[in-house]
A and B are shown apart, each in its own frame.
Chain A
Amino acid sequence: MNRRDFFTCHVADKSRPAASLGPGYYSNGVFRTHENKPVRFYDDLIKGKISIINFMYASCDKYCPRSIACLTKLQDLLGDHLGRDMFMYSFTLKPDEDTPAKLAAYAKGNGARPGWLFLTGSEYDLTSIRFKLFRLDDPLLDFSVDIHASMLRIINDNNSRWTSWVLPDPPRLIREAVSWVEPTKPFAVRVRENAELQAAIDKESVISAPKRAEFKRAHGWPEITAKYENPDGMKKLQTLFHAGA
């Protein structure tokens, strides 16, 4: 299939999610996976899924290894979502060097599981999606190869929600960021999580509150438990409201 065919199939595509920005926005260029399979960007990688996308190259020994190590650990936190509704895509910045075979070795070396694809393609298609997904409108940054080792894009095609995170960082933070593009959880679940968070805060307060109280006592700043009355201030406030409103 040539590029023109991909453009025409954008228009014909009716199966994408209603809120999706669609292939016209994402583009639909063909890439090749580390398993040497051709895939179209929107139709095969983005459509209907949550995608976690970064750029790398196999010979990068500066910032990439630490970034990739985070993604390796992230796989555990994605659990059985990975390969089902969530996918990780690592695109090469150096298509001349990174053949599918080389990427396959890199994938294996980094413990990639099914659902984490390493991709190469034409310089044009790679640059197009890089600019679409990671553009900062700053030439120094946009044309820097190194900078991309720290950037992670997270996309949910179903509701057109995006976010990003930076690498390297603890995988728990990345997993948390992924949750922001997921559909909002049912209210009952959020209420339960809120109660759990409160319990954690209370647990911490049991330790910190007495310390703070002791610190204040030691400095002669006694805690005031009586209610503070300020009729004068209230009167001033009444005048302000009446004049301004």
Chain B
Amino acid sequence: MLKASAAAGVVTMLTSRKTLAQSLPPIPTQPPDCAAPAPTNSPATTPFVQALPIPPVAIPTILNPFPTLAADTANGEAARANHQDWFQFFPLLQYNVSVQPTMHQFHPQIPPTYCWGYNGIYPGPTFLNIYGVPVVVRFHNNLPVDNIGFGDNNHTTHLHNGHTASESDGFAGDYWSPGLFKDHHYPNVYAGFNEFPPLGDQLEAQHTYWYHDHRHSFTATNNYRGINGMYLIYDDIDTGFEFPGQGPQALRLPGPYGIYDIPLNFTDKLFCANGEMFATAPDAVPGGTDKFCVNGAIQPYFNVQTRKYRFRFLNSGPARIWTFNLSDNNGNPVPMTVVTTDGNLLPSPVEVISTSSVPTLTGLTVYVSQRYDVIIDFTNATPGTSWYLTNVAAQFVGNAPEPEPAPGVNIGNVVMAFNITGPPPSPDQSQVPEVLTTLPNISKPMANLFGTRVWNFNDDVVGAEGDPANPTGKVFNVNGLTFDPNRADATVQQGSSETWLIRNRFPGTGWTHPVHIHLEEGRVLDRRNITVNPTTGVITINSQGVPPLEQGRRDVYPILPNDEVLIFLQFRDWFGKYMIHCHNLGHEDGLMLVRWDVTTGPSSTVTSPVYSDGTPNTGNGQVNSGAQPNITPALTALAPTFNLNPPGTSKLNRPGLKGSKKGVKA
């Protein structure tokens, strides 16, 4: 029996449309993995022979048994704590998702590949949601009980980076086994709902999410198998529609989904001749791959009209860092206009082009798990020609067309082509406003900071034994710690705020760590590079300020070798366990992953877990003193550089951002 009558209306209407009917593909038996010999190249593939696949929209249903506040273990639900604020955000929609094996063809010249995916498709269905419409998603683990080779049949899903209660956050240790299901409660609320009831602070809106397997130690292999998809949340500002008359607050970015609002899920793979994905070892994905896939297709084309499009770039890993450039049919660089970073609207659009004079804007660099919503304007493109999205690293093509597709554009670098078809059937009504949002005013929480918590991301044995930065000698670690699902390495009090200093190992070993923090998005306050004078040995910390693409809110903070980044974070609304971890999935599986908890308090200062052999760990998340204090300047010295309230935004206050669009770029 469905209690929410409004939900019943939507469900009936949706399921009555035949085109939306979702039936699960049959579950294939697992073909043998190709483990040896290692292929040096995937089979040759011809570029641009297949259209870009657009993941279908996830369709709500009515769950049976009906979802409950407490875990329905009697009916096969995996153990969990009661949903927090379940009645406050009682789900108006319900989704049923099967995590299961499937066969997916990445290219017509490569035989179908054994994959795992949400609802048996790769990428998984796209969730289209609205702030203020809470939903519940039931994830059934239908993975095989007898799988061989890479991937683990225990599963958990993280909605990256939903403002989600802990028991629905897909905590890496809360995985469930085949035959069980788990209900994840996604309230689709803005952060800060205790302070700004009922739905939170609209300035905390985030629009582009992805959901993916987060089972620890196997996140790389399970995502390589295909367990990920996208999840978009709209509201009355980012409405998903471009037509006028939606009210002055509506941004009217290109839309709707699937037509002018297009997800681009980038990953890279290495295939054997039989079509099977190659894994370097039964628990490791290859570092060197040669096939770039967009939404599960190798080098696809996408037909575009002469107008604006919104593309949602996602680097779904496992490890590659992409740097994208766009060229027209003459090989000339074309700008891409970034409107969101990790799904959060930027204060103003930022233009990226390969010839930019600003180093961080020469091409769009996307670290694992980062998202960028990018507007590409094809208005002046010539019908019948193609534009090319390229990555700086080359892939193996095989039978590439001669000559190169555009002057100076190497076919091996082309990730996808945009074929310009002609004018749109109706005029382009979309806009890219000069002011997209204002950032939440954080001066009050900044004045009440608990302190600065230091997280050292180390990837080597550092120094001598007992080095406080890495007392245990573990390869990938955070403050010397690796993941223990049952141990919280820091606790923060509900409603408090802190600055976190996320620091790469110094001196650097060459690894970049894209660090992700669950629960809330952060604000980058400062980026610094650490250098050492080779003759005097004097260590200098060079503040680099905040790069343009980090002026908004983010949830992934890449730290390059010798880099550190200072961010501001709040911990609001939900209690329970969350994580900070490297989102290079290989490093994450190497347990570069730490649990921290939101509690009733007080916040931890220095926690000292004791190892099984009785050794206390001295290098753990310390407050107001770094594990390497000699290279940490006093926080107060940097305070004036904090970007508390960017110029021109202070007068734009809640609610609604009405009248915020000044110059509108048509």
Residues of A within 8 A of B (CB): 19, 21, 24-25, 62-63, 66, 69-70, 73, 133, 135-138, 140-141, 144, 146-147, 149-151, 155, 159-171, 173, 177, 180, 183-185, 187, 190-191, 194-195, 197-198, 201, 204-205, 208-209, 211-212, 214-216, 219, 221, 223-234, 236-241, 243-245
Contact = CB atoms under 8 A, between A and B. Distances in A.
Given A24-B36, A161-B282, A244-B128, A70 B495 contact: no
B334 to A, nearest CB: 26
A208, A209, A240 — which one has the most chain B CB atoms within 10 A of its CB? A240
B484 A208 contact: no
B73 A150 contact: no
A140 B475 contact: no
B57 to A, nearest CB: 5
B82 A205 contact: yes
Nearest to A245: B57
B510 A190 contact: no
B76 A191 contact: yes
B146 A184 contact: yes
A183 B283 contact: no
Interface stretch (B6-14, B94-102, B384-392): B6-14
Given A167-B474, A169-B611, 8 more contacts: A133-B281, A141-B460, A177-B217, A191-B76, A194-B176, A230-B132, A233-B133, A245-B56
Interface stretch (B251-259, B369-377, B519-527): B251-259
13 contacts: A133-B281, A160-B149, A168-B472, A169-B611, A184-B153, A184-B177, A212-B494, A228-B90, A228-B92, A230-B6, A237-B93, A238-B10, A241-B57
Contact of A137 (B146, B179, B287, B461): B287
A159 B13 contact: no
Given A162-B281, A234-B10, A147 B130 contact: no
Interface string B78-98: 111110010111101100000
Nearest to B188: A233
Contacts of B88: 223-225, 228
A96 B73 CA distance: 57
Contacts of A226: 87
B644 interface: no
B606 interface: no
Contacts of A69: 612-613
Contacts of B509: 138, 140-141
What 5 A-B pairs come out closest when comparing CB atoms? Answer: A244-B257, A243-B256, A198-B79, A63-B473, A224-B88
B133 A230 contact: yes
Interface SS, B side: loop
B482 interface: yes
B424 to A, nearest CB: 15
Interface SS, A side: helix
B635 interface: no
A228 B334 CA distance: 47
Nearest to B484: A173
Interface in B316-364: none
A208 B87 contact: no
Interface string B245-287: 0000000000111110100000000000000000011110001
B651 interface: no
A187 to B, nearest CB: 5
A164 B36 contact: no
Interface in B436-466: 459-461, 464-465
Contacts of A166: 474-477, 482, 590-591
B85 A224 contact: yes
Contacts of B234: 236, 240
A237 B13 CA distance: 12
B108 interface: no
Nearest to A197: B79
B134 interface: yes
Given A66-B615, A160-B282, A211-B600, A230 B92 contact: yes
B154 interface: yes
Contacts of B71: 198
B283 A234 contact: no
Contact of A231 (B6, B198, B591): B6
Given A66-B613, A194-B79, A228-B88, A244 B259 contact: yes
Contact of B130 (A215, A233, A245): A233
Contacts of A169: 482, 484, 611-612
Nearest to B473: A63
Contacts of B473: 62-63, 146-147, 149-150
B8 to A, nearest CB: 10
Contact of B613 (A21, A168, A208, A227): A168
